[in-house]
A and B are shown apart, each in its own frame.
Chain A
Amino acid sequence: MEAFTTLDAVAIPIDQPNLDTDQIIPARFLGKPRPTQVEALFHDLRYTPDKKPRPEFVTNMPAYQGARIVVAERNFACGSSRENAVTVMVDNGLRAFIAPSFGDIFFNNCFQNGALPIRLDAKRVAEIRAALHAKPGSTVKIDLASQTVTGPDGKADRFEIDSFRKDCLLKGVDEVNLTLGYEKDIAAFEAKQRQEMSWL
């Protein structure tokens, strides 16, 4: 997995609360090969039903081209477990997501794909979004080692992250390999379970 250390990049503001994974990538694109899903990002928000780009949607605005960060509203990416919601954003260059809160499954899926979800105070997230709207194309700086996010206004905030997740991201740790290193513990658990729950 690609390591995540720092990111200093254009950020896109998304103001809708509860923006669900069906909006990030509609279900009809899920059964297709990953490379063909790239175009499906925010599909029905980006395009009208007759396939014309909606100029008012952020990712269609020239100032936000090359964005690598999303600054969203509460409960971002709630809904389904589709990991495509993470991979379609990663494949479009978006690797960090800042919001007051996230859908739990999406939050976990980020770490499996070298992406960083950051929870920040709702007031501060609103401030950063307002700054991005005021000057589209502004950048946000993220430093994982020091756990800081610096907004377009130059104000830096510390964010919390589990040290386990932080280490895995900083080093690009492969979780399956990590877990296979605990083979003895897993085997011991299974032996105990065979005794205690023999009906399984």
Chain B
Amino acid sequence: MAAAARTMFEKIWQRHIVVDRPDGYTLLYIDRHLMHDGSAAGFAKLRERGIKLRRPDRGFATPDHYVKSDSRSVAAIADPHHRALVEAIRTNTAESGVTLFDLGDERQGIAHVVGPEQGVTQPGLTLVCGDSHTSTHGALGALAFGIGSSEVAHVMATECLWQRKPKAMRVSVDGTLGEDITGKDVILAIIAKIGTAGAVGHVIEYTGSAIRGLSIEGRLTVCNMSIEAGGKAGMVAPDDTTIAYMKGRPFAPKEAEWDKAVAFWRTVPSDEGAVFDRDVSLDAASIAPMVTWGTSPEDALSITGRIPEPSTAPDAAKKDSMKRALDYMGLTPGTPLEQVPVDRVFIGSCTNSRIEDLRAAAKVAKGRKVVIPSWVVAGSGLVKKQAEAEGLDKIFVEAGFEWREPGCSMCVGMNGDTGKPQQRIASTSNRNFIGRQGPGVRTHLLSPAMAVAAAVTGHFADVRKLA
């Protein structure tokens, strides 16, 4: 009898088991460890114990959370604690031998942009980082998830993690996406459908013709927000698109090793007939440009929709949380989304700061003028350089956007890039939590093209209708 059909997740999991304990816990081997300026706590924990990194060759670091978006200078970071974190990544990587893409190096950027860009992220591998958006890397067919600083130290010391096997969930998006519908709209539609806790305890595999039709960059955006659906990780099976993307990247295998790697990558996708613990499906044709209205990523609506009425909530608890969200967001139920004025626009973050995101944004910005303060923060120095080579920076600047330096910037505001209380921000980032972009700030999540539509009209607008 043939071996049982396995999911891609199952295959990667099995290949990385170091020890399976009878109590159901697995010591799982980690192939790649991405570090950033927030990883200093992990290094400090290791130092306290007098332990060296087991595999510095498996570690890659870049400062992203605390770096300024208007300067590449470490000295210019005003907060001494933040400056110390950006300095610490230099000393920690120099002492340990971890590869660093530092400020001033064009390869620096947001860890989740840099990993795929450099070919560090590869199909069939396990990858972790002390950041919840590590799920991004699953777009290349890796099992990638975020961990806390104690587990960061654990991986540094042992290159392993204790894990209980999560369940597998399949999200199929079949059909053809409409014009101007992007990975961002797809993932917001998925989260709106299954809820922000919809995938807790599960690894999601995104599949179906609409997912296969996405570029790697679109897939990265989808997998990035798996955590916003509660998923442990999100992944897409490696295919020709993946292999073409990997080819020639600095840390991708070369020559004879390339052929061996590709042969392995071809074995990674789920087998025909593999069984998932849960199945969800969406019709691609039904997905419109999405915008969030509330304080959870599940509060997402089509741009053609209206701010919801709490009275339509299924129960008292949901009604109460809707009221609270509407109050924080300063919105009146029944208002068409297209009539909601916007104060500011942020295009960037590990969700939407890659070259295709900037191309999509520039396409809408070309020949138009922004009417509210608007920023573009490229995901890495290489993305920025590519955009400049294509003249996108000129389009943005002529339209009135600020063209800034790579980092997490206003997605999380840890570097001081925050909004003002009650300011309404159209943001291509991943979280619309209360206070995420600064105390009192009202965040609405959307795609880069939709963010530009808001920037040039001063309110949410359907990018499909812009003449």
Are A and B co-members of a single complex? yes
Residue positions of A touching B, CB distance < 8 A: 15-18, 20, 22-23, 26-28, 30-33, 44, 49, 73-75, 78-83, 86, 101-105, 108-109, 112-113, 162-164, 167, 175-176, 179-180, 182, 185-186, 189-190, 193, 197-200
| Smallest CB separation, A1 vs chain B (Å) | 9
Do A80 and B151 form a contact, CB below 8 Å, given A28-B413, A49-B440?
Answer: no
Q: Which of B103-140 contact A (CB under 8 A)?
A: 125, 130-132, 134
| Smallest CB separation, B226 vs chain A (Å) | 11
B414 contacts A28, C-beta separation under 8 Å: yes
Check if B280 is an interface residue, CB within 8 A of chain A.
Answer: no
| CB-defined A-B contacts under 8 Å, sample of 16 | A26-B435, A31-B81, A31-B85, A74-B197, A81-B148, A104-B232, A105-B148, A109-B150, A112-B151, A162-B164, A163-B24, A176-B51, A182-B160, A185-B18, A189-B29, A190-B159
**A182: chain B residues within 8 A (beta carbon):** 18-19, 27, 158, 160
| Smallest CB separation, B277 vs chain A (Å) | 15
Residue positions of B touching A, CB distance < 8 A: 18-19, 21, 23-25, 27, 29, 31, 38, 41, 49, 51, 54, 66, 79, 81-82, 85, 125, 130-132, 134, 145-151, 153-154, 157-160, 162, 164, 166, 196-197, 200-201, 227, 230, 232, 253, 257-258, 260-261, 264, 296, 298, 317, 320-321, 324, 412-414, 418, 421, 431, 433-436, 439-440
A78 contacts B164, C-beta separation under 8 Å: no
A164 contacts B38, C-beta separation under 8 Å: no
| Smallest CB separation, A191 vs chain B (Å) | 12
**A17: chain B residues within 8 A (beta carbon):** 317, 321
Do A164 and B200 form a contact, CB below 8 Å, given A22-B434, A105-B132, A179-B154?
Answer: no
Contacting A108 at CB < 8 Å: which of B134, B147, B196, B440? B147
CA distance A81 to B200 in the complex (A): 14
CA distance A44 to B441 in the complex (A): 12
Contacting A79 at CB < 8 Å: which of B79, B132, B439? B132
CA distance A74 to B82 in the complex (A): 33
Contacting B434 at CB < 8 Å: which of A23, A109, A176? A23
**B79: chain A residues within 8 A (beta carbon):** 31
B230 contacts A103, C-beta separation under 8 Å: yes
Do A26 and B439 form a contact, CB below 8 Å, given A16-B321, A31-B81, A200-B31?
Answer: yes
A179 contacts B148, C-beta separation under 8 Å: no
A185 contacts B19, C-beta separation under 8 Å: yes
Do A179 and B158 form a contact, CB below 8 Å, given A18-B296, A44-B435, A81-B147?
Answer: yes
B324 contacts A27, C-beta separation under 8 Å: no
A180 contacts B81, C-beta separation under 8 Å: no
B150 contacts A113, C-beta separation under 8 Å: yes
CA distance A44 to B102 in the complex (A): 34
CA distance A11 to B232 in the complex (A): 29
CA distance A78 to B431 in the complex (A): 11
A31 contacts B414, C-beta separation under 8 Å: yes
CA distance A102 to B200 in the complex (A): 8
Counting from the closest, the 3 A-B pairs by CB-CB distance are A83-B148, A112-B150, A199-B253
**B324: chain A residues within 8 A (beta carbon):** 16
CA distance A199 to B431 in the complex (A): 36
B148 contacts A164, C-beta separation under 8 Å: no
CB nearest neighbor in A for B317: A17
Q: How many A-B residue pairs have CB under 8 A?
A: 165
B148 contacts A30, C-beta separation under 8 Å: no
**B164: chain A residues within 8 A (beta carbon):** 162, 164
**B321: chain A residues within 8 A (beta carbon):** 16-18
B158 contacts A180, C-beta separation under 8 Å: yes
CB nearest neighbor in A for B38: A30
| Smallest CB separation, A188 vs chain B (Å) | 8
**A23: chain B residues within 8 A (beta carbon):** 433-435
B159 contacts A79, C-beta separation under 8 Å: no
| Smallest CB separation, A77 vs chain B (Å) | 11
A164 contacts B162, C-beta separation under 8 Å: yes
**B132: chain A residues within 8 A (beta carbon):** 79-81, 105
B200 contacts A101, C-beta separation under 8 Å: yes
Interface centre among B148, B164, B414 (most CB of A within 10 A): B148
Do A186 and B253 form a contact, CB below 8 Å, given A109-B150, A200-B31?
Answer: no
Contacting B197 at CB < 8 Å: which of A15, A22, A75, A186? A75
CB nearest neighbor in B for A102: B200
**B298: chain A residues within 8 A (beta carbon):** 18
CA distance A176 to B54 in the complex (A): 12
| Smallest CB separation, A179 vs chain B (Å) | 4
Do A180 and B157 form a contact, CB below 8 Å, given A33-B81, A79-B132, A185-B27?
Answer: yes
CB nearest neighbor in A for B25: A164
B201 contacts A104, C-beta separation under 8 Å: yes
Do A109 and B230 form a contact, CB below 8 Å, given A22-B431, A101-B197, A176-B153?
Answer: no
| Smallest CB separation, A41 vs chain B (Å) | 14
**B85: chain A residues within 8 A (beta carbon):** 31
**A175: chain B residues within 8 A (beta carbon):** 150, 154, 162
A179 contacts B150, C-beta separation under 8 Å: no
Given contacts A179-B160, A190-B159, A197-B261, 14 further A-B contacts (CB under 8 A): A18-B321, A22-B436, A32-B81, A49-B440, A75-B196, A75-B200, A101-B197, A104-B201, A164-B25, A179-B162, A182-B19, A182-B158, A186-B29, A189-B18
B149 contacts A186, C-beta separation under 8 Å: no
CB nearest neighbor in B for A178: B162
Do A44 and B131 form a contact, CB below 8 Å, given A23-B434, A176-B49?
Answer: no
| Smallest CB separation, A23 vs chain B (Å) | 6
| Smallest CB separation, B60 vs chain A (Å) | 13
| Smallest CB separation, B72 vs chain A (Å) | 19
**B196: chain A residues within 8 A (beta carbon):** 18, 75, 78
CB nearest neighbor in B for A83: B148
**A104: chain B residues within 8 A (beta carbon):** 166, 200-201, 230, 232
**B436: chain A residues within 8 A (beta carbon):** 22, 27
CA distance A82 to B412 in the complex (A): 12
**A109: chain B residues within 8 A (beta carbon):** 148, 150-151
CA distance A22 to B158 in the complex (A): 30
